[in-house]
Amino acid sequence: MQGNSVTFSARNAMPLSFRASGAPRPLPVERISRPASLGAALRGRTTTRCGSPDDIAADWIQQNMGSGAVVRKQNAGYSDWASAYTFETENGSRYFVKISPGRDESMFAGEAEGLKAMFATQTLRIPEILHYGPLTGRGGSFIVMEHLTFGGRADPEEFGRQLALMHKAEPAVAEARNGQFGFSVDNTIGATPQPNGWMDNWVDFFRERRLAHQLRLARDSDLNKLGDKLLPKLDDFFSDLHVAPSIIHGDLWSGNMSAVDGQPAIFDPATYYAHHEAEFGMAWCASFSPGFYSAYHEIIPKEPGFEERKQLYLLYHYLNHYNLFGGGYRSQCVSIMRSLA
């Protein structure tokens, strides 16, 4: 298994993981041997202005990581907007690289800043971000991160404990430390834009930036009529409840979690500062065990109204799946909205 190859999942398809173990055939390995090898071509150069996207990413690694030239590249998955690779250097170091010739760095900014914020909590195993930026002279962008070797599933109780500790950690940014909800950059949930502009009140944020946003995208008159009934009532689900900003992964399903040397690890985030319970909006696709929840709630006790609020958080993700894929997700949205409105 090639480390972070497990992490790269298509953003505009049904949840799908590019796990090496699930690939229909071995992924190709390219030994880089452009004139006198890429390593020789890069030695002594300070900037790659018009090389291939691979050259530009390899150049950044050589100039900044102190591990020698890139000598080997292995494909690690793709989506409709980017390709992922493992780059190996002369001293044996490996890096996980995503390259997007057709997109600016804003897509990678959302991923990078989310991983950085979770990494700062020093709880779950998170890939460290080393760099993201433009493909200078070509258009497009790339991201370089720590290469992790993922394998299997972590102990569910340890996963629950570490996730709760991540949610309890002091926010890494001033706005969240001051009680605001949102994030420093917008990002995506699947292929759907996820607006994260800061707001002082969680219910207002969830109403406007999450549910109302998805309903506007749906352009479904029946769903919007149900939304007109439900959205004004959201405060009722949070009465007598103090909500503080917690960093959440935001898209926590089984394809975005694994283990590194037995430690629970998560990746491919849609991160923002939220009510910690919003983390469980993808629980229907995560297979969290009773032991996971028990360990989590030992650290963050379950508060009254948890199950009803969980339906609200499920609704956000069902609406997103309806906007992405249509089909049966609409009936699940209708069912939840009718039960809560």
Catalytic amino acids? 251
R_g (Cα) of the chain, nearest Å? 21
Instruction: Collect all residues with Cβ–Cβ distance below 8 Å to 47 and sequence separation of at least 6.
Output: 59, 136
Residue 269 has phi, psi (to 5 degrees) of: -90, 165
**DSSP conformation letters of 209-239:** IIIIHHHHHHT-HHHHHHHHHHGGGGGGGGT
Neighbours of 282 (CB within 10 A): 27
172 closest CA partner among 231, 247, 109, 99: 247
Backbone torsion region of residue 164, taken as left when φ is above 0, otherwise alpha when ψ lies between -120 and 50, otherwise beta = alpha
The residues that bridge with 259 in the sheet, in sequence order, are 264
Amino acid at position 254, single letter: S
* Cα end-to-end distance, the chain, whole Å: 47
DSSP state of 208: I
